[in-house]
């Protein structure tokens, strides 16, 4: 297994675990934070999530593009496309909801954030599963 594949797989697994935690626990918990402390909370959330998400997402993007260019296979093109769709979903679905929430607690925006986070959750899960199967085949069906 190449170093690039291992790095990409590790970043993907990390982000998949993180997105499931966000989807099932973190975003739904936004509704239970009081209005008075919500603005302070959302600022802290945005700052700290940036610390734990930015580098792995960049690593995933770079390693996915490298694998697609290096291997020139449908599998790696599809995986890179999934990463691009995740970035698009983040930019056009998640980030706008977070911007709205910076101005105050809004239950409908929180519900929309949970709902519109599903595409990222599904895409990262599909990437993790497909890469796991690919690596199993690569390592055990030589």
Residues in the chain: 142
Taking the complete model, does pTM exceed 0.75, yes or no? Answer: yes
- The whole-angstrom separation of Cα 35 and Cα 51 is 25
**What is the count of structural domains for the chain?**
1
Q: What is the pLDDT of residue 139?
A: 75
Range of the domain at 87: 3-140
**What pLDDT sits at residue 98?**
95
Block mean pLDDT (10 aa), the chain, length 142 = 94 98 97 95 94 97 98 95 98 96 96 97 98 89 68
Would you state the pLDDT for residue 142? 64
């Amino acid at each position: 297994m190449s170093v690039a594949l291992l790095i990409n797989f590790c970043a993907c697994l990390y982000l998949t675990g993180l997105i499931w935690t966000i989807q099932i626990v973190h975003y739904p918990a936004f509704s239970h934070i009081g209005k008075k402390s919500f603005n302070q909370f959302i600022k802290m959330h945005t700052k700290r999530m940036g610390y734990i998400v930015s580098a792995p997402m960049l690593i995933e993007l770079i390693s996915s593009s490298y694998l697609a260019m290096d291997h020139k296979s449908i599998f790696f093109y599809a995986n890179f496309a999934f990463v691009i769709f995740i970035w698009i979903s983040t930019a056009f679905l998640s980030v706008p909801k977070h911007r709205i929430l910076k101005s105050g607690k809004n239950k409908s925006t929180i519900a929309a954030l949970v709902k519109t986070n599903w595409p990222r959750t599904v895409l990262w899960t599909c990437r993790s599963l497909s890469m796991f199967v690919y690596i199993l085949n690569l390592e055990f069906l030589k």
